Chains A and B, each alone.
Chain A
């Protein structure tokens, strides 16, 4: 073959920002993995019972200069006085244990809700893109309507009136996020089904449904999958926000938003730790998911 391989000119943006993207992307991968691991094993590896108060109320975390010594002691399993790495809250519960146990609520809800809405949304999006026009119009108008609702307030109403359980939160968030996936998948399906390989498959005598599922859908999933990571982050924010205003999971479930709310009164009095650590956990987790999604997007575009 004597053809000249045409080099693809990367856009200016992409070409120069690759190193930074990788650094952020690695951070995102790390956080995403950590959060998933804690979702599974968090409550089991927590050093203290997340529901039973200790004898110390509002015990501050150990001073920074003591941390290396205490770490060493705990790694070597040496006998020592009990350590509350993040202190204890006003009920005497160990904050560290609760922070690492909380992904069982926050991450599980966010992941569950997004899995439901991703599945539902991409199938509806595919249907909206390939089915008869009136079915497509019906799906799109319905998802327009859902998207017109103010997300947070609607979430608050549905969750509260349906009973504030983890299941209702998952379903509520799934309902609110489904239109995002419908929209993304549909617009990509509309692009993909115009492509030559779809007509080529038709020319080879393939059935429409087969083409939609093997050629169109797999090629149309990328935007939804990128969005998946970012939306999990938003779902964590929303789960925590709902319980922060008292419209989410019920106490005493270990959950970051509830913990921040419980510590809100102390912070005004200068006792910062009950709110600081769960908030830090949210901050890092959601940023991690955003960074992961951003990295995926760049990789996909490149």
Chain B
């Protein structure tokens, strides 16, 4: 279980046990980290990763307590030191980065001040020097205008920026070990990749070791030297990254990685069109009444019977709004939705209620989608013409749940089981199309794998069509026949799964796919030459640039990109792309759709 050629450990943990009240969260854990090593720690939420991470600094979130064990940092046991001695080690010897970076910054203090406070606590700096150093740190992390950023409050900066502020605080005093707990949860794919690249580079530059805790095996495969797997408070696997991904030794890891070996779904051939969206647009007026947020901008797509269209994009790209516009849960401003040949937009309220039952939706947050005061039986009955206990049992069986759960309330179920109930309710209405709005994002990795399997089985059995909305490219690849990529409300590229995943053509689609961290250590991002890197952050959808929305970040942008709206054009291989320079190089036909 030891890493190969073990040098003297920087951190050495023995029999560490942490409990909340009567519940043990971390159970007699042993682990070693060598100087400069990047170690990944994975496991479901609730497996004790975060608790372990804090315990390495001698901390526990109240009412938790460290009950036993030792945490030796360069030989000295942190847990037997006095509190002042421990305090001086935190931040100076061990840096900490946590998930939810904005909540980890005091909302009432300026960012520079907060970084400065950490520097002053560990380095012999006075106020002015600490402030100057804080600005330097922000500049080194690639923030433009660091002086102004330092005077910002946490609510004024983006999540990605807040995460960099945490890096500055964690690495400011030059620790030899960095504990990073889900540092990219809540970040968009491209920002996540940028952030991890920076973290990886910074850690390698200063030679500090990193313990990187994440549920995302893609991150582990791309950035870590060694993998630890945690389950129910114990470490169940410890292996070198390449060997781990080639042949995981424990059951949990094998299940997680099993989906990677399943063949992607086969398209049902020339399917009849179930739904067609033409020029679908939606903008929201912001609260102050003057600014307008463009959520969806002339979206065109078709979904065939029994087919899945994957809709991918980062947060704010408008993919969720598209899903809701299809059912008119959000009223589109313009465009048509033809569902089984009928225009949803022209339907009377009564017709609309009937049509809606033929299109169902499954939401991201499974608990939120179920009325907490209703039993599972009542929830599914709501979707039926009349209450029918036998049908409820049958539907629960369909989604792999014990019919006995019918009498329970949603809260009594795990998130995965709740999502199955949502799916059961959706199929109860016998819809032709199901909009799946990030149905796996709130689930643990294991539950995610099972839901993806379930969705594939159901499609094979019931022949329903899916619009699968997700930011998670792996699940989209496992479920979709066709894929549309959205950026700031526009579909920038739409084609078959192979076209999009094997050879994306639009610069944004390329960058998105390049930022995708596949759980495959032989294709590490850090080893690749980055050709498709985009500059800067996603602009706000409120004040969009004229012309192509990507022009400011795009490596292939030409002068006309900044002034001309890009039409969606069909390339020779049948895919459509919203990028004139690429389309012209391809010799595309003249634009079939007005922009």
Chain A contacts to B: CB under 8 angstroms: 1-7, 9, 12, 15-16, 195-197, 199-207, 215, 218-219
- A200 to chain B: closest CB distance in Å? 6
Q: Are B373 and A219 in contact (CB under 8 A)?
A: yes
Q: Are A3 and B447 in contact (CB under 8 A)?
A: yes
Per the 8 Å Cβ criterion, residues 21-68 of B in contact with A are: 21, 23, 44-47, 61-63
Q: Are A3 and B444 in contact (CB under 8 A)?
A: yes
Q: Which residue of B has the minimal Cβ distance to A205?
A: B353
30 A-B contacts (beta carbon < 8 Å): A1-B400, A1-B401, A1-B414, A3-B414, A3-B416, A3-B444, A4-B44, A4-B46, A4-B231, A6-B46, A6-B414, A6-B415, A7-B23, A7-B46, A15-B20, A15-B63, A195-B368, A199-B324, A200-B361, A200-B369, A202-B356, A203-B327, A203-B361, A204-B360, A204-B382, A204-B425, A205-B356, A205-B357, A207-B353, A219-B373
- Interface residue tally for chain B (C-beta within 8 Å): 48
Q: Are A204 and B357 in contact (CB under 8 A)?
A: yes
Q: Is B446 an interface residue (CB 8 A)?
A: yes
Q: Which residue of B has the minimal Cβ distance to A7?
A: B46
With known contacts A199-B329, A202-B329, A204-B356, A5–B382 Cβ distance under 8 A: no
Q: Are A196 and B368 in contact (CB under 8 A)?
A: yes
Q: Which of A16, A195, A204, A215 has its CB near the most chain B CB atoms (within 10 A)?
A: A204
Per the 8 Å Cβ criterion, residues 311-356 of B in contact with A are: 324, 327, 329, 353-354, 356
List chain A residues, Cβ under 8 A from B359: 203
List chain B residues, Cβ under 8 A from A219: 371-373
State the CA gap A202–B370 with chains docked (Å). Answer: 13
With known contacts A202-B329, A203-B359, A2–B371 Cβ distance under 8 A: no
Q: Is B365 an interface residue (CB 8 A)?
A: yes
List chain B residues, Cβ under 8 A from A196: 363-365, 368-370
Q: Which of A205, A206, A218, A219 has its CB near the most chain B CB atoms (within 10 A)?
A: A205
State the CA gap A102–B371 with chains docked (Å). Answer: 43
> What are the 8 tightest A-B residue pairs by CB atom distance, in nearest-first order?
A196-B369, A205-B353, A196-B363, A12-B62, A196-B368, A3-B416, A197-B371, A6-B46
Q: Are B444 and A6 in contact (CB under 8 A)?
A: yes
List chain B residues, Cβ under 8 A from A199: 324, 329, 361, 363, 369
With known contacts A204-B382, A204-B383, A5–B414 Cβ distance under 8 A: yes
List chain B residues, Cβ under 8 A from A207: 353
Given A4-B231, A15-B63, A196-B370, 12 other A-B residues pairs in contact with their CB atoms under 8 A: A1-B400, A3-B416, A4-B414, A6-B414, A7-B23, A15-B21, A16-B63, A196-B364, A203-B356, A215-B371, A218-B373, A219-B372
List chain A residues, Cβ under 8 A from B363: 196, 199-200
State the CA gap A1–B364 with chains docked (Å). Answer: 20
Q: Is B422 an interface residue (CB 8 A)?
A: yes
- A74 to chain B: closest CB distance in Å? 49
Chain B contacts to A: CB under 8 angstroms: 20-21, 23, 44-47, 61-63, 231-232, 255, 324, 327, 329, 353-354, 356-357, 359-361, 363-365, 368-373, 379, 382-383, 400-401, 414-417, 422, 425, 429, 444, 446-447, 450
State the CA gap A15–B23 with chains docked (Å). Answer: 12
- A4 to chain B: closest CB distance in Å? 5
Q: Are B370 and A197 in contact (CB under 8 A)?
A: yes
Q: Which of A1, A200, A207 has its CB near the most chain B CB atoms (within 10 A)?
A: A200
State the CA gap A2–B415 with chains docked (Å). Answer: 12
State the CA gap A215–B232 with chains docked (Å). Answer: 36
Q: Which residue of B has the minimal Cβ distance to A194?
A: B368
Q: Are B450 and A197 in contact (CB under 8 A)?
A: no
- B382 to chain A: closest CB distance in Å? 6
Option from B357, B368, B447 in Cβ contact (under 8 Å) with A197: B368
Q: Which of A6, A196, A207 has its CB near the most chain B CB atoms (within 10 A)?
A: A196
Q: Which residue of B has the minimal Cβ distance to A219?
A: B373
State the CA gap A7–B22 with chains docked (Å). Answer: 13
- A211 to chain B: closest CB distance in Å? 10
Q: Are A204 and B429 in contact (CB under 8 A)?
A: yes
Option from A2, A6, A202 in Cβ contact (under 8 Å) with B45: A6
Q: Which residue of B has the minimal Cβ distance to A207?
A: B353
- B275 to chain A: closest CB distance in Å? 14
Q: Which residue of B has the minimal Cβ distance to A201?
A: B382
Q: Which residue of A has the minimal Cβ distance to B425?
A: A200
List chain A residues, Cβ under 8 A from B422: 200
- A1 to chain B: closest CB distance in Å? 6
State the CA gap A225–B386 with chains docked (Å). Answer: 32
Option from B21, B23, B47, B383 in Cβ contact (under 8 Å) with A4: B47
Q: Which residue of B has the minimal Cβ distance to A2?
A: B446
State the CA gap A202–B371 with chains docked (Å). Answer: 13
State the CA gap A16–B21 with chains docked (Å). Answer: 9
State the CA gap A1–B451 with chains docked (Å). Answer: 11
List chain B residues, Cβ under 8 A from A3: 414-417, 444, 446-447, 450
Q: Which of A3, A202, A205, A219 has its CB near the most chain B CB atoms (within 10 A)?
A: A3
List chain B residues, Cβ under 8 A from A6: 44-46, 414-415, 444
List chain B residues, Cβ under 8 A from A2: 255, 446, 450
List chain A residues, Cβ under 8 A from B444: 3-4, 6
- B409 to chain A: closest CB distance in Å? 12
- A18 to chain B: closest CB distance in Å? 10
List chain A residues, Cβ under 8 A from B61: 9, 12
State the CA gap A206–B359 with chains docked (Å). Answer: 14
State the CA gap A3–B405 with chains docked (Å). Answer: 15
State the CA gap A195–B367 with chains docked (Å). Answer: 10
Q: Are B414 and A203 in contact (CB under 8 A)?
A: no
State the CA gap A205–B357 with chains docked (Å). Answer: 6
List chain A residues, Cβ under 8 A from B21: 15
List chain A residues, Cβ under 8 A from B45: 6
Q: Are B354 and A205 in contact (CB under 8 A)?
A: yes
State the CA gap A128–B514 with chains docked (Å). Answer: 48
With known contacts A3-B446, A196-B368, A219-B371, A9–B415 Cβ distance under 8 A: no
Q: Which of A201, A203, A218 has its CB near the most chain B CB atoms (within 10 A)?
A: A203
With known contacts A6-B415, A204-B429, A12–B63 Cβ distance under 8 A: yes
List chain B residues, Cβ under 8 A from A1: 400-401, 414, 416-417
- A9 to chain B: closest CB distance in Å? 7
State the CA gap A205–B360 with chains docked (Å). Answer: 10
- B102 to chain A: closest CB distance in Å? 19
- B360 to chain A: closest CB distance in Å? 6
State the CA gap A199–B424 with chains docked (Å). Answer: 16
Q: Are B360 and A9 in contact (CB under 8 A)?
A: no
State the CA gap A196–B364 with chains docked (Å). Answer: 9
List chain A residues, Cβ under 8 A from B370: 196-197, 200
List chain B residues, Cβ under 8 A from A215: 371
Q: Which of A1, A4, A202, A215 has its CB near the most chain B CB atoms (within 10 A)?
A: A4
List chain A residues, Cβ under 8 A from B425: 200, 204
State the CA gap A207–B382 with chains docked (Å). Answer: 12
List chain B residues, Cβ under 8 A from A7: 23, 46
- B340 to chain A: closest CB distance in Å? 16
Q: Which of A9, A197, A199, A201 has its CB near the most chain B CB atoms (within 10 A)?
A: A197
State the CA gap A133–B373 with chains docked (Å). Answer: 28
List chain A residues, Cβ under 8 A from B371: 197, 215, 219
State the CA gap A70–B378 with chains docked (Å). Answer: 59
Q: Which residue of A has the minimal Cβ distance to B354?
A: A205
- B324 to chain A: closest CB distance in Å? 8
State the CA gap A6–B324 with chains docked (Å). Answer: 29
List chain A residues, Cβ under 8 A from B231: 4
State the CA gap A15–B45 with chains docked (Å). Answer: 20
Q: Which residue of A has the minimal Cβ distance to B365?
A: A196
List chain A residues, Cβ under 8 A from B383: 204
State the CA gap A195–B372 with chains docked (Å). Answer: 11
State the CA gap A199–B383 with chains docked (Å). Answer: 13
Q: Which residue of B has the minimal Cβ distance to A199?
A: B329
Q: Which residue of B has the minimal Cβ distance to A6?
A: B46
Q: Which residue of A has the minimal Cβ distance to B231?
A: A4
List chain A residues, Cβ under 8 A from B357: 203-205
- B448 to chain A: closest CB distance in Å? 10
List chain A residues, Cβ under 8 A from B356: 202-205
